[in-house]
Structures are given as structure tokens and as C-alpha cells.
Amino acid sequence: MGSKFVHKVALFAMSCLLVVGCSAGAGKETTKERQSLRVMFWDENYFFQQYGDLFAMKYPNIDIEVVNQQSMYNEEVTDYDKAFNDFVEKEQPDVVLLDTSKLETFISDGKLLELDPLIARDKYNTDTIYPGLIDLLKEQGNGKLFGMSPSFSGSVLLYNADLFNKYGVELPHDGMTWQEIIDTARRFPTDGDEKTRIYGYGIQGTLNLGTIASYIASTEGLTAINPDTMKVTINTDSWKRAYQLALDAVKSDTVYNPKDGGFGGGSMEDYYQSQLFLMGRIALTTGGLGMLQNLKEASDRIKDYKPFELGMVAGPIDPAEPDVTRDVYLNEVFAIQSNSPNSEAAWEFLKFINGEEYAKIKSRSMNSGMMSRMGFTKEYNGHNLDVFYKLKPKPNNSYKGMEKIPNEFYNQYQPIVDRELALVQDNKKALSDALATIQEEGQVILDKAVKDAEANKGKTPESTTNGEPSSGVTVVE
């Protein structure tokens, strides 16, 4: 009985917040005729927990039906883009849930309703939305807005201030480049055994020569393959600098790269123990809100846990564009289909989940990511979160258009990359020669993969394990 009472009190409190927040103009909404709204989402229960229940409190006259995407996967699927498009065409949701690549496609196909006239008509305030986020979305629509995202994921630099002070290393600052990060990491000692020593830099996973170079390339917007020209473009000065910096980091022995591949299973305490930054053994790392949550959980669950002073700064950045970041990812972009018969109800939904009332309530739980509306997600476990809003988000086009590359290409390309990087790391081949080989051999297999794909166009694709095609691309988040 006690838990039911608490639940009712919580719902009542949220209702009060909504009523107070909209007292100036919400009264007319209850007098409107009953409407229905079909919203596309990947899980019905989670949708109502995250969005639907709160929306229903303010708009009791709008009935939401969730168009569950799980039905897309009932049969064996080999072409996910086609399955997605067929699903939308069949179900005709008023509100569609898209990622940024599908957003661009739907815009170019004329399937989405432009939001700018609605924003102007209703004088909808977008000034307190994370600066640059609207611009990020408008880039997909040639300067026009067709979708909105109530939350985002971001990455910053986190550091162990106790280790910096102990070894007399200057504390990190906003806007550090990868060169500065690696140089800073190299100022920490490398002595000691694997179970006790510290590291200058590390993440929650493998960090070898290839992955470090991928992180640098992602920050600086480098692409190894141009999907428009179908050319391998890894033998460039920019890529050489990225790989040379990664090579310097690996050879300095100050970057943590677990020899056993990292956590291989076990209890949650085993997991936390395997994450060296959480355990105070890595000075500098990159991460987001999840890292802060892991720190709190580790301190709560591990007996005799030794906390440390945590610091956060904005970065890493591309030295060519010091005020922007490519490490911002939109969690869920909602848009309205241009042929929707319920466009007004759909617009009310978008306004609400991207508005201040919603952000005020959801910022308390912190399970939605960083709120796009600023001024509500102030801190987490005593740590100020303003750092996540300091840099202007910019599209990360490192993987844009990669769906054009035949999957078969990657199966042959990656072994070439691994072979050549191993030769470089073992001092058996110069970096410039290795990149030239990767580009030359990679172009041969890319040309063949494209030719084979053209020849097989229209034929039934071979099924793969579990009906899921292998992309061959490692996406750095």
C-alpha cells in the first residue's frame, strides 16, 4: 500500500507541475475535440514512461497509439533501409522516429513537414535549446528544420585531479586537442606492474593503434573512404598525422590497452574493478553522462571504494575548429510526416517533448541523456554539467554515405589495415609506406566490390547470421 501511495503522490506532483507550468494558456486544450495520434517508437512501454504519460496529463484529449517498430524484425531482414521505409509506408505514423541519416533521406524525398512556419506561427521559443543543435538538424534540410530531438549524448574530457596534483601535472583545460591530450598523458609515470600502475590516458575498452587513430580522425572529421567517388583516401597528410600521434601514444606506454581485451564477464563489482578510471588508476579519459553514472554506482557498490576529485573540461577539439565538437549524438529525432492528417496534434507533441516543462521534469531522473533545453540539467552527483554545452555541435560526417560501400569490401579491407599497422608498430615498415599500401590495395578490392554489387543488383541477397548483415564498420562513440 505504501508504494502505491508514493506512486500516486509522484503522479499528482507531476500533474501539478504541468498544470502550473501551463496555467496561462492550457485551459482551452481540454475543450478541444478528441484526437488520435500515431507515434512511431521502438518500444511501447518505454515510450509511455519517457513521453506518453506526461503528454497525456497535459493533453487528455489526444489519444496516442504507438506504432511499434519491433514488428519490422518479425521476419528475416537483409535490407534494413528497405524494411524501415516499407514499415513507415505501411503503418503511416503521424510522428516518425529517425536518426540523422534517415532524417536527411526523408527530407529529400519530401516526406516531412517543415517546422519553421509552425514555430513562427506559435512563437515557440527555441532560444533556450542548446545552441547549434537546431543548426545541426537544419543542416540535414538545407537550412530548414524538419525534426527535433529532446535530448542528446555528448562526450567531454574527465580527469582525476588527485593524480594530476600528485605528479605535478598541469590540470586539463577546455578545448584540448588530441596532441595536447597525448602530451599530457605522457607526463605520467609508466613504471609498476599491471595490477597497480597508473596510466595517463585510457577509456572503457580497447585502445590500440587503430582505435586511437579512429578517435583522432572522428574528432577532426577525417574519412578513409569517399563514398561519393568510391575512392580510398587514407594516404593523406591528415591521416598520417593522426596515425603518427596514435603511434607515439602507443609507444609511450602511457595509454591503457588491456592485453586481455578488458572485462570478459562476471559480477557488476568485477566490471567496475576492470574500469581503471573508475578505480583511480587513469588520469585522463573521454566519456559522457554514463561515466558519471558509473562512478556513482562504483562508489555505492564497491566495498572500501576510494573516491577521488573529478574534473571535467570540454573537448577534445579539432585544432582547425576550436569552438566546435563532433562528439554530439542525437538520441531520438522526431518528425511529422507531410501527409499526416493529424499534423496539429503531432506538432503539439513535438512542442511538448522539446519544451521547458518536459525538460524540467525529466532532468531530475537523468535517464534521458542530456536535455536539449538548457537550464534544467544543472548537475549530477555534485558535478556541474555545463561543460556538455560549451562547444557548438557539428555533424560528424566520418561515416556519412558509408551505406553505399558494399559490405563485402570491409571483410577484405580490415585485414589489410591490421597487417600494415602491425608492421608499423613492429618497426618493420614506415608509416607513410603502410598507408600507401592500404590505399592502393584497398582501392583494388573496393573497385571489385562495387563491380560485383552492380552485377548482383536485383538478385536475392544471401542471408547472414541471424538475418543481420555485417557492416564491417567500427563506429566510434
Over residues 155-176, the pLDDT tens digits come to 999 999 999 999 999 999 999 9
Q: Are 151 and 332 in contact (CB under 8 A)?
A: yes
Question: Distance (Å, rounded) from C-alpha 389 to C-alpha 129?
Answer: 10
> What share of the chain has pLDDT > 90, as a percent?
71
Side-chain half-sphere of 439: how many Cα atoms within 13 Å? 18
Neighbours of 214 (CB within 10 A): 19
Q: Are 58 and 26 in contact (CB under 8 A)?
A: yes
Question: Among 142-156, 402-416, 455-469, which is the least confidently predicted range?
Answer: 455-469
The DSSP element (H or E) to which 14 belongs, if any, is: helix 2-21
Rg of the chain taking only CA atoms, in angstroms: 25
Residue 92 — very low, low, confident or very high, per pLDDT cuts 50/70/90?
A: very high
The DSSP element (H or E) to which 225 belongs, if any, is: strand 225-226
Q: Name the β-bridge partners of 158.
A: 285, 312
Architecture of domain 8-150+329-392: 3-Layer(aba) Sandwich (3.40)
The mean pLDDT of 415-439, rounded to a whole number, is 97
What does the buried/exposed string (b/e) look like for 398-435 if buried means 16 or more CB atoms within 10 Å of the residue's CB? bbeebeebbbbbbebbeebbeebbebbbeeebebeebb
DSSP-assigned letter for residue 12: H
DSSP-assigned letter for residue 15: H
Closest by Cα among 123, 109, 118 to 145: 118
Question: Distance (Å, rounded) from C-alpha 291 to C-alpha 278?
Answer: 8
DSSP-assigned letter for residue 236: S
Whole-prediction pTM: 0.85
* pLDDT at position 9: 37
Neighbours of 1 (CB within 10 A): 5
List the grid coordinates of 244.
Answer: 603518427
Burial class (CB in 10 A: 0-12, 13-18, 19+), 179: middle
Q: Are 258 and 195 in contact (CB under 8 A)?
A: no
Question: Distance (Å, rounded) from C-alpha 45 to C-alpha 63?
Answer: 15
List the grid coordinates of 463.
Answer: 542471408
Q: Is 324 helix (H, G, I), strand (E, B) or coil?
A: strand
List the grid coordinates of 259.
Answer: 592485453
Neighbours of 260 (CB within 10 A): 8
DSSP-assigned letter for residue 459: S
> What share of the chain has pLDDT > 70, as a percent?
87
List the grid coordinates of 17.
Answer: 507541475
Count helices and strands (H / E) in the chain. 17, 18
Tens digits of residue pLDDT in 94-117: 999 999 889 999 999 999 999 999
Q: Per-domain residue ranges for the chain?
A: 8-150+329-392, 156-207+255-325
Residue 48 — very low, low, confident or very high, per pLDDT cuts 50/70/90?
A: very high
Q: Name the β-bridge partners of 194.
A: none
The mean pLDDT of 110-131, rounded to a whole number, is 97
- The Cα angle at residue 37 between residues 33 and 43, in degrees rounded to 5: 145
Q: Is the pLDDT of residue 403 over 50?
A: yes
Q: Are 209 and 246 in contact (CB under 8 A)?
A: yes
* pLDDT at position 464: 36
One DSSP character per residue, 20-72 reads HHTTTT-GGGGGSPPEEEEEEES-HHHHIIIIIHHHHHH-TTEEEEEEEGGGG
The mean pLDDT of 278-295, rounded to a whole number, is 95
Question: Distance (Å, rounded) from C-alpha 454 to C-alpha 447?
Answer: 11
Q: Is the pLDDT of residue 11 over 70?
A: no
Angle between helices 209-220 and 237-252 (to 10 degrees): 140
Closest by Cα among 122, 319, 95, 120 to 219: 319
| Single-letter amino acid code for the residue at 308 | F
Q: Are 243 and 214 in contact (CB under 8 A)?
A: no
Largest CA distance in the chain: 77
List the grid coordinates of 276.
Answer: 581503471
Backbone angles phi, psi at 159, to 5 degrees: -140, 155
* pLDDT at position 75: 63
Question: Distance (Å, rounded) from C-alpha 319 to C-alpha 201?
Answer: 20
List the grid coordinates of 404.
Answer: 553505399
Q: Is the pLDDT of residue 467 over 70?
A: no
